[in-house]
């Protein structure tokens, strides 16, 4: 398995760690990183000695700030839907459907596509300073990797509306109250302790039983990939999205004209 240097796969005795390795870029996701995660999932699916997977970001400020705008900002709406959104959905679905439990150890801010990635995990724990949000609407865009639906499933439709329409972040305490995470650790050391505790607990559980439980829970999801890809392509084709991207690049406030 040959990965880019933007993603690390660390195999321990009974579990593995996927580490998003772009701390200087907020661990923002690139196409290469999506391909890396796909490869890791392919290997993990066949690894019968692998009992669990931990997903985390390098550094102490960010878990993941979403899809790198340089990776998708210049794509045509058609290419956006086909090459970026559909592939990303397939990668996250492949991760979510692994037989092993996935723990998202959210060591910093978790935004946009980063939150969508975290929601592909089975369990989520974060540090107290972490913030969560879906800021896509501030760029004239929408969450593309099934984030709107996943938020509604996990936190409820009303709270999904709050996050996706305001585009403003929420604190770790609110995220725990809403069910986006099930535990909050005071700092990074406490985060590692909690993850180790969960891993130890899972090591004593039947791996086949956990895989079957995951399969049962999987039945609540319907295939909405094409619908989401179409919606993202529609948003990407607007003048407002072009303006949002350009304003981000130029570090100015965007001017939207509802076109």
Q: How many C-alpha atoms does 20 have within 13 Å on its Cβ side?
A: 34
Q: Which of 35, 90, 116, 250 is catalytic?
A: 116
Q: Is 93 designated active site?
A: no
Contact 242, 224 (CB under 8 A): no
Q: Which positions ≥6 away from 24 have C-beta within 8 Å?
A: none
Q: By C-alpha distance, which of 115, 169, 112, 116 is closest to 136?
A: 112
Out of 136, 186, 197, 239, pick the active-site residue. Answer: 136
Q: In which residue are the tokens 């340089």 written?
A: 70
Q: Give Cα 31 distance to the centre of its chain.
A: 14
Backbone angles phi and psi of 26, in degrees to 5:
65, 20
Identify whether 136 is a catalytic site residue.
Answer: yes
Active site residues: 116, 136
């Amino acid at each position: 398995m040959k990965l880019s240097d933007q993603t690390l796969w660390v195999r321990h005795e009974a579990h593995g760690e996927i580490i998003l390795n772009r701390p200087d870029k907020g661990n923002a996701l690139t196409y290469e990183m999506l391909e890396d995660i796909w490869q890791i999932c392919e290997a993990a699916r066949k690894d019968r000695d692998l009992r669990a997977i931990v997903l985390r970001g390098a550094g102490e400020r960010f878990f993941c700030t979403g899809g790198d705008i340089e990776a998708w900002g210049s794509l045509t709406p058609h290419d956006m839907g086909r090459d970026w959104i559909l592939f990303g959905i397939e990668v996250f679905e492949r991760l979510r459907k692994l037989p092993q439990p996935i723990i998202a150890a959210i060591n910093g801010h978790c935004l946009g596509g980063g939150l969508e990635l975290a929601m592909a995990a089975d369990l989520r724990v974060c540090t107290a300073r972490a913030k969560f949000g879906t800021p896509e609407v501030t760029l004239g865009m929408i969450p593309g990797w099934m984030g709107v639906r996943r938020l509604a499933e996990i936190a409820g439709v009303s709270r999904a509306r709050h996050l996706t329409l305001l585009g403003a972040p929420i604190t770790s305490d609110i995220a725990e109250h809403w069910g986006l995470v099930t535990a909050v650790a005071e700092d990074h050391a406490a985060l590692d302790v909690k993850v180790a505790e969960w891993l130890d607990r899972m090591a004593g559980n039947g791996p086949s039983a956990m895989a079957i439980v995951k399969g049962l829970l999987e039945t609540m999801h319907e295939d909405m990939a094409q619908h989401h890809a179409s919606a993202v392509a529609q948003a990407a084709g607007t003048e407002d999205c072009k303006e949002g991207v350009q304003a981000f690049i130029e570090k100015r406030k965007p001017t939207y004209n509802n076109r």
